[in-house]
Amino acid sequence: MKFLVDVNASGFLVDELMRLGHDVAAVAAKDPRMPDDDILRWAASEQRMIVTTDHDVEEMIWRAGKAHCGVLRLENLPRAERGVLLQDVLHHHGQDLASGAIVIEDGAVGAGFVGCALMIGRSNDGNHSQYT
């Protein structure tokens, strides 16, 4: 999968996604002060899913109808917990992300269970539906 990792999601996630064999670009490497609109445009133009801890990204997509190729919003957890959370989310929701879903992860992880607060899926006609 192709990811664009936001500055606030940390370099650790860049390294972890690369270790897992994904195609990863990092906002920090291009412009650490890049506005969210530019991040969304970059991700859409390269068909990358955004990985972020920013609560505003999915709101911008939802309210303004911005184009996107999927978003994974993780809670800002300690590095080790975030790595486990990332792997669990990719295992349980990788196909959803690949089809353009917005996965908002609340950080409740345990015994192979991912506590997904909300997932917004995108249908073939571009409309969104919510499910938990």
The tens digit of pLDDT for each residue in 44-59 reads 999 999 998 888 887 8
Determine contact, residues 84/109, Cβ cutoff 8 Å.
Answer: yes
The CATH code of the domain that includes 74 is 3.40.50
The whole-angstrom separation of Cα 87 and Cα 81 is 10
Q: Considering only residues 102 and 1, tell me which one the structure prediction assigns the higher pLDDT.
A: 1
Q: In what order do the strands lie in the sheet with 102-110?
A: 23-26, 2-5, 49-52, 71-73, 102-110, 113-122, 128-131
pLDDT score for 80? 81
Q: So what's the pLDDT on residue 128?
A: 38
pLDDT of residue 65: 81
The distance between the two most distant Cα atoms of the chain, rounded to a whole number of Å, is 38
The amino acid sitting at 98 is A
Q: Which domain range does residue 46 map to? A: 2-131
Residue 9 reports pLDDT greater than 50: yes
Q: Per-residue b/e over 51-83, b at no fewer than 16 CB within 10 Å? A: bbbbeebbebbeeeebebbbbbbbbebeeeebb
Nearest C-alpha neighbor of 65 from the set 126, 125, 117: 126
- Inter-residue contact 128 to 121 (CB < 8 Å): yes
Angle 129-8-51 from CA coordinates, rounded to 5°: 35
Question: Which pLDDT does position 3 carry in this prediction?
Answer: 95
Domain count within the chain: 1
How would residue 107 be classed by pLDDT, with cut points 50, 70 and 90? low
Which pLDDT value is given to residue 40?
Answer: 92
Average pLDDT of the chain to the nearest whole number? 79
- Could you say which DSSP state residue 75 is in? P
Question: Averaged over 86-99, what is the pLDDT?
Answer: 86
pTM above 0.85, yes or no: no
Residue 124: is its pLDDT beyond 70? no
Q: What average pLDDT does this structure show over 112-124?
A: 40
User: Residue 64 corresponds to which tokens in the numbers above?
Assistant: 């303004």
What integer pLDDT is reported at residue 110 of this predicted model? 43
